[in-house]
Structure 1
Amino acid sequence: MQNRAAIVRKTGGPERIEVVDVPMPMPGPGEVLVAVEATGIAFADVVMRMGVYPGVTVPFTPGYEVVGRVIGGEGFAEGTRIAALTVTGGAARFAVVRAADCVAVPGGVSSAQAAALVLNGLTAFQMLTRCVAQPSVEKMLVWGAAGGVGSILLALGRHFGIDTYGVASGSRRDFVRDHGATPIDRGGDVAAQVRAASGGGVDAVFDGVGGPNVRISEAALRDGGALVMFGFQGALGGSERLNPLRAAKAMLTSPRRSAQAQFMTGKGLRGYLITQWQTAHPNFYRDDLAEVLRLAAEARIVPAIAAELPLDRIADGHRMIGAGTAQGKIVICPQQ
């Protein structure tokens, strides 16, 4: 068998991604060898390619998750279809994965759908059920509602019976409406629109934009509500290149609220990083990923797939992420 993988040897734009023949990986103790059927492209992959993702240096193979069939190693029978969070290494025909990170994929879920549910689905599920008290959330606001994480939050909101508002622009507002949520025009006064539509504010806001945008999110909260930050996509600035000034602004202008202010309003602010949760709570990671996949198998949530591309077109997928045009998850299918 011949392996083929995407490799970033130099940081920069999508043109830096090479797809080349590479040696077959060999699993070690506690690892499985997987024939990769699907991996996704996320904003995190773009940030890695640009050279500003903590802990990832060139050369590396992108691919934050792996979905495929076990063909060797320990812990799973050969032929078992698994999903795993890998951070890197997924964009290859074959990959080695820690068995402890793998969760079996149930029937009724395609490999492309499963890929949309690892990084994005697990992020959405844990933010809604672990970072906030989900049973107390009657109304919520989702930024980037047509994106990978946002679209899963819309689906979870529908599943849990939450009145959901999704921030979007242009045709993406139709996507939000079609997925059972109330569209909020990103070009207008978002906080005012949300407070008017919700009757005074929402119980939870999920913000992957960051920076000064957080103040808008806080203004959309009712007293006692919770804001969960999970990224700083505003630093991309609508292009394929990370804007250093935007990145600095996103970090430096995020509001710093005093303990007294939080006490007086009851508004909470929390950050979410999936890798921190995976390390600190490995049982949550496995249980929650299994639950997300179960919900998909029962068609209680249906992940939106923006595109399924062969491995040789991974650079095109990165361009779609950089342009901000994708509605749902972009999936790479290395076996095609």
Structure 2
Amino acid sequence: MTVHVNRKILIRRAGGPDRLELVDAPMPECAADEVIIRNEAVGVAFADVLIREGLYPGVPLPATPGYEAVGIVVSKGRAVDSVEIGARVAALTVHRGYARYVNVPAAWVVAVPPTLDSPTAASLVLNGLTAIQMLTRSVALPSTQSILIWGAAGGVGSILLDLARHFGVTAYGVASGARTEFVARKGGVPIDRSEGDVSETLKRYAPAGVDAVFDGVGGPNVAVSQRCLNEGGMVVMFGIQGGLVGGRRKWVHLIRSALASPRFTAFGVMKSNRGLKGYMVEPLARQFPDRYRSDLSAVLELAASGAIAPQLDEILPMSKVAEAHRRMNAGTHQGKIVLDPAH
């Protein structure tokens, strides 16, 4: 009888990338409604950085990070009839994904198209799902005809550029340096943040503003995003990267960011004719699991057909997870970093 040992990443205490330990662990148990996946590719997400820093709600330490995974189903619970052993699937794991084997509710797995390789699929589970749900559910198509994307060369931003091109939406992408060229290659209009106030730069191209802004920075940046909107426009806030410095929590910076965040009154919001909406993938997926599966399947199929092309930065063995997080902290990556749990 073959006895498998699970290898996973463990964070015992909050801190920097050096807190990420590769450890041997028992195999996960499979509940009646779960499957066990032998992971082939695991995405590295900003949410994983928040987990490492002890800042992600609902995930106390010690914990194993890893928001998304792709692999082969090797076992399933007695109540599972929707997934077959041997199927290659993608799953939103939220945490526990940095492992060779992970147990996931069967309702959270989606088949991966055979022509799509596992690292590419892993780069789409969180980022692709976030992008397609924000563009098609947080705002309305086809009435949304122009958008502004912060961090347009990043994991979510680059997929938003692809989706905007696919749906015929004009996209303005905020980036700097050589990343502005990347935005242009993706079909977006680059907005170089080094030129000053993004809202003023945008006016050269869209004097009346855009229909929607996707803001993963948060804090005082939301006020800039609101200035980029036209009448009736919507800011969709999906991250708080502005609350960290170099990928690390700095309490003084977090407090300053909170104090500098815009304040709203009911009358002020009504008078502005502009909206602010939050987006967080996990609670939405839990409340609407059918939407989750449908939207994730849709984005995987779009990638398999070549309609969108997620940007892969690098594939690293799981033993180099600290290097992956150092790159996340420094912001030197372009696109998605993926871990290979088999090495």
Q: 1:264 Cα deviation (Å)?
A: 2.9
Q: Does 1:229 align with 2:232?
A: no
Measure the CA separation in 2 of the matches of 1:203 and 1:138: 7
Measure the CA separation in 1 of the matches of 2:51 and 2:102: 19
Measure the CA separation in 1 of the matches of 2:98 and 2:268: 45
**One-letter amino acid of the counterpart of residue 110, structure 2:** V
Match of 1:308 in 2: 315
Match of 1:130 in 2: 137
Q: How does 1:139-158 map to 2 (within 5 A)?
A: 139-158=146-165
Q: Is residue 41–residue 329 contact of structure 1 (8 Å, CA) maintained in 2? A: yes
Match of 2:52 in 1: 49
Helix, strand or coil: the match of 1:89?
Answer: coil
Match of 2:113 in 1: 106
**One-letter amino acid of the counterpart of residue 240, structure 2:** F
Measure the CA separation in 2 of the matches of 1:271 and 1:240: 22
Measure the CA separation in 1 of the matches of 2:91 and 2:256: 33
Q: Deviations over 1:171-192 (max 9, x none)?
A: 2112211211111111212001
Match of 1:69 in 2: 72
Measure the CA separation in 1 of the matches of 2:102 and 2:266: 46
Q: 1:225 Cα deviation (Å)?
A: 0.8
Q: Is residue 304–residue 328 contact of structure 1 (8 Å, CA) maintained in 2? A: yes
Helix, strand or coil: the match of 1:205?
Answer: strand
Measure the CA separation in 1 of the matches of 2:90 and 2:209: 37
Q: Does 1:246 align with 2:249?
A: no
Helix, strand or coil: the match of 2:309?
Answer: coil
Q: Is residue 211–residue 249 contact of structure 1 (8 Å, CA) maintained in 2? A: no
Match of 1:201 in 2: 209
Q: 1:160 Cα deviation (Å)?
A: 0.8
Match of 1:11 in 2: 14
Measure the CA separation in 2 of the matches of 1:196 and 1:223: 17
Q: Deviations over 1:111-139 (max 9, x none)?
A: 11111111111111111111111211111
Q: 1:254 Cα deviation (Å)?
A: 2.5
Match of 2:38 in 1: 35
Q: 1:59 Cα deviation (Å)?
A: 1.3
Q: 1:169 Cα deviation (Å)?
A: 1.4
Match of 1:288 in 2: 295
Measure the CA separation in 1 of the matches of 2:287 and 2:171: 30
Q: Does 1:215 align with 2:218?
A: no
Q: Deviations over 1:180-239 (max 9, x none)?
A: 1111111212001112112321110000101111111011111111110011101123x1
Measure the CA separation in 1 of the matches of 2:319 and 2:63: 16
Of 177-186 and 202-211, more deviation after overlay is shown by 177-186
Q: How does 1:259-298 map to 2 (within 5 A)?
A: 259-298=266-305
Match of 2:330 in 1: 323
Match of 1:177 in 2: 184
Aligned residues: 335
Measure the CA separation in 2 of the matches of 1:195 and 1:249: 28
Measure the CA separation in 2 of the matches of 1:122 and 1:274: 8
Match of 1:25 in 2: 28
Tell me the TM-score normalized by structure 1: 0.97
Helix, strand or coil: the match of 1:197?
Answer: coil
Measure the CA separation in 1 of the matches of 2:109 and 2:217: 30
Measure the CA separation in 1 of the matches of 2:222 and 2:323: 31
Q: 1:13 Cα deviation (Å)?
A: 0.5
Measure the CA separation in 1 of the matches of 2:249 and 2:180: 25
**One-letter amino acid of the counterpart of residue 157, structure 1:** A
Q: Is residue 64–residue 90 contact of structure 1 (8 Å, CA) maintained in 2? A: yes
Match of 1:81 in 2: 88
Measure the CA separation in 2 of the matches of 1:171 and 1:2: 44
Measure the CA separation in 2 of the matches of 1:325 and 1:161: 30
Q: 1:259 Cα deviation (Å)?
A: 2.8
Structure 2 unmatched runs, 5+:
none
Structure 1 unmatched runs, 5+:
none
